[in-house]
Chains A and B, each alone.
Chain A
Amino acid sequence: MALLDVKNLGISFGGLRAVDSFHIEVEKGQLYGLIGPNGAGKTTVFNMLTGVYQPGDGKITLDGNDITGKRTIDINRAGIARTFQNIRLFKELTVMDNVKVGLHEHYKYSTIAGILRLPSYYKKEKEMNEKALELLKVFDLDKEKDFLASNLPYGKQRKLEIARALATNPKLLLLDEPAAGMNPNETKELMDTIRFVRDEFDMTILLIEHDMKLVAGICEKLTVLNFGQVLAEGNTAEVLKNPQVITAYLGE
């Protein structure tokens, strides 16, 4: 069975049917792309998958569990982590602390232990620091670990968001336009990193992207969204040859 199984998902904003009868099946370990013109409803799909928006109708199943309409934090605990199209970092925290907040649920000690500096504080903090540093190294951010997140250059901020999401140890990683604002070199590096994350962490990744080089380069399957509806789906090479898809993109 697919890791992520979405059926008949839909939502309206006032009179606007932003997403309608959307469906997708992402297999474990897959690198899956969700593409479509501006305003097609891609981010809205992510927002429904992560509980930011309540789906109007449809059913979302993750690893056999129905997570439709659950709260964002419960969905994260069920195994979905994400990044945001408009970067949402903890700006006033250091790069390291951004990742450590992601580790929050996995390295626990009580608030009292934190205030009184009991041994559990030192033990868990040390483990967290090691784990966070390990993650930062994957994204080549270890040298900037003590910078405030807001002081990172744009491309690195995007990477930090991925590191933070991974810190929650998800089953499924959702990336909303990870290459936006990156130069071609950074994008190429990012493609390698995404592949590395999939292989090394045994991760399943669903990503939204406008950069066709990236999509064609790393995604195995694609779903194309247009005006809130699935226009095409299938293997990347076939979908990109689909005349309807080409028109949708050229027509925007």
Chain B
Amino acid sequence: MKIKTDKIKKISKSSFTIYGMVIMAYVIMQILVSTGSLSSLMEGLLVPLCIYVILAVSLNLTVGILGELSLGHAGFMCVGAFTGAFFSVATVDLITIPLLRFGIAIILGALAAAVFGIILGIPVLRLRGDYLAIVTLAFGEIIKNFVNVIYIGTDKNGFHFSMKDAVALKLEEGGKVIINGAQGITGTPNDSTFTIGIILIIIILFVILNLVNSRAGRAIMAIRDNRIAAESIGINITKYKLMAFTISASMAGVAGVLYAHNLSTLTALPKNFGYNMSIMILVFVVLGGIGNVGGSIIAAVLLTLLPELLRGLNDYRMLIYAIVLIVMMIFNSSPKAIELREKYSLKRLFTKKTKGEDA
């Protein structure tokens, strides 16, 4: 019998691997950028890569660690994006230190997404079954459409709100429209940088990996593995489900803030905040291995880069993308492939084969 040993040691060891991987990628990219050997296309992808990594890792907390299906991760990202961008545009003249302003925007974006996480989570996480998937799917679509019809402006009398059009805000001379319905938010300061993106990834990894290896994380995984047993030993199911789901949502909010400050115009489209996006993040998580944080990062990076790298192939691009998806899926789940992978894994080659004592 093959024995998987020490999950804790494995996790803490793999934690270092994950941090190391992120830092190494950062250093390599910085060197490439400073020597000018990165195409402008690739350079433009650095921040989006950070965004996708944060989205994938945070969704893994809900799907892999908590074991609940969420199909509205892009919705939380949307909440974070609009909250953060709104704050930055409103205070762009007030707070002149960009880093401070961006820092506050990130915190506000995370909090706003967390609030929505709690609002959705409280009623839905009490239920048994896949209700969360349905409700989050609806939430993502509603939020996306909602931000397309709101108008918020500011003048010396304060903020004005309307759901009709910009004129209805009745702004005085010198006032400005911040959220302009379907035209979204324009003039968001471009505060997002690759360095900030990497720092945020590391903070998020720190939170998730430490959470998993603590009392609360054990409770969350216990609920995932067996709800009835967890209840029978006194674990408060709703509390820990809500905790994991809310943390996950707030992190998607952070990704949203990063996203908003990487563009000068923020609009909510099916492409960026629709269910397509939510599904794509889910694909990262599934292909990276459910519950495998490092895998989520790799999958997010590969699957974001791939379409760009294949751009020259034009028509065959999406075909190859699809084939890679299928191959990854097989590689991840087919027992034969798993066997093969274990046989030829680097770890095996470097460590002596240790026979687990069969008990």
A residues lining the B interface (CB < 8 Å): 50, 52, 71-73, 76-77, 81-82, 84, 88-94, 96-98, 100-102, 104-105, 107-109, 111, 114-117, 121, 124-125, 143-144, 146-148, 151-153, 156, 164-165, 167-168
- What CA separation (Å) do A156 and B303 show in the bound complex? 43
- What CA separation (Å) do A143 and B359 show in the bound complex? 9
Structural contact, A167 and B233, CB atoms closer than 8 A: yes
Measured between C-beta atoms, what is the minimum distance from A208 to chain B in Å?
15
Q: Pick the residue among A90, A108, A116, A167 that contacts B226 (CB under 8 A).
A: A90
Residue of chain B at shortest CB distance from A141 = B359
Structural contact, B218 and A101, CB atoms closer than 8 A: yes
- What CA separation (Å) do A84 and B216 show in the bound complex? 24
19 example contacts (A-B, Cβ-Cβ < 8 A) are as follows A71-B231, A72-B228, A76-B234, A82-B232, A84-B228, A88-B228, A90-B221, A93-B218, A94-B7, A114-B216, A115-B211, A115-B214, A117-B210, A146-B6, A147-B3, A147-B5, A151-B3, A153-B359, A167-B233
Contacts of B235 in A (CB 8 A): 73, 101, 104
Cβ of B9 under 8 Å from chain A? yes
Cβ of B107 under 8 Å from chain A? no
Contacts of B234 in A (CB 8 A): 73, 76-77, 104-105, 168
Residue of chain A at shortest CB distance from B235 = A104
Contacts of A108 in B (CB 8 A): 215
Structural contact, B214 and A93, CB atoms closer than 8 A: no
Q: Pick the residue among A50, A101, A109, A151 that contacts B1 (CB under 8 A).
A: A151
Given A84-B232, A92-B225, A164-B233, 17 other A-B contacts at CB below 8 A? Answer: A50-B232, A81-B233, A90-B226, A92-B221, A94-B7, A94-B8, A100-B215, A101-B219, A104-B218, A105-B234, A114-B217, A143-B359, A146-B6, A146-B9, A147-B4, A147-B356, A153-B359
Contacts of B5 in A (CB 8 A): 146-147
Contacts of A114 in B (CB 8 A): 210-211, 213-217
Q: Pick the residue among B210, B224, B359 that contacts A156 (CB under 8 A).
A: B359
Residue of chain A at shortest CB distance from B240 = A111
Residue of chain B at shortest CB distance from A98 = B222
Residue of chain A at shortest CB distance from B9 = A146
Contacts of A77 in B (CB 8 A): 234
Interface size class of B (residues with CB under 8 A): 35 or more
Contacts of B211 in A (CB 8 A): 111, 114-115
Measured between C-beta atoms, what is the minimum distance from B306 to chain A in Å?
30
- What CA separation (Å) do A143 and B357 show in the bound complex? 10
Q: Pick the residue among B226, B237, B359 that contacts A88 (CB under 8 A).
A: B226
- Whether A102 touches B233, Cβ cut-off 8 Å, given contacts A93-B7, A146-B6, is yes
Contacts of A152 in B (CB 8 A): 359
- What CA separation (Å) do A124 and B216 show in the bound complex? 13
Interface residues of B in 203-247 (CB under 8 A from A): 206-207, 210-211, 213-219, 221-222, 224-226, 228-237, 243
**Does more than half of chain B's interface fall in helix, strand or loop, or is it mixed?**
helix
Structural contact, A94 and B215, CB atoms closer than 8 A: no
- What CA separation (Å) do A167 and B232 show in the bound complex? 12
Measured between C-beta atoms, what is the minimum distance from B2 to chain A in Å?
8
Contacts of A98 in B (CB 8 A): 222
Instruction: Map CB proximity to A onto B227-269 as digits: 1 under 8 Å, 0 otherwise.
Output: 0111111111100000100000000000000000000000000
Structural contact, B222 and A151, CB atoms closer than 8 A: no
- What CA separation (Å) do A71 and B228 show in the bound complex? 12
- What CA separation (Å) do A132 and B235 show in the bound complex? 17
Measured between C-beta atoms, what is the minimum distance from B356 to chain A in Å?
8
Q: Pick the residue among A52, A82, A93, A121 that contacts B222 (CB under 8 A).
A: A93
Structural contact, A89 and B233, CB atoms closer than 8 A: no
Structural contact, A93 and B217, CB atoms closer than 8 A: no
- Whether A151 touches B228, Cβ cut-off 8 Å, given contacts A102-B233, A104-B218, A115-B210, is no
Structural contact, A90 and B215, CB atoms closer than 8 A: no
Measured between C-beta atoms, what is the minimum distance from A96 to chain B in Å?
8
Structural contact, B232 and A81, CB atoms closer than 8 A: yes
Contacts of A104 in B (CB 8 A): 215, 218-219, 233-235
Contacts of B237 in A (CB 8 A): 73
Contacts of A102 in B (CB 8 A): 233
* Best-buried of A92, A108, A152 by chain B (most CB within 10 Å): A92
Contacts of A111 in B (CB 8 A): 211, 214-216, 243
Interface residues of B in 288-310 (CB under 8 A from A): 291
Contacts of A72 in B (CB 8 A): 228, 231-232
- What CA separation (Å) do A187 and B152 show in the bound complex? 72
- Whether A121 touches B228, Cβ cut-off 8 Å, given contacts A93-B221, A97-B8, A151-B1, is no
Contacts of A84 in B (CB 8 A): 228-229, 232
Contacts of B226 in A (CB 8 A): 88-91
Contacts of A50 in B (CB 8 A): 232
- What CA separation (Å) do A167 and B230 show in the bound complex? 13
Structural contact, B225 and A93, CB atoms closer than 8 A: yes
- What CA separation (Å) do A93 and B219 show in the bound complex? 10
* Best-buried of A88, A124, A143 by chain B (most CB within 10 Å): A88
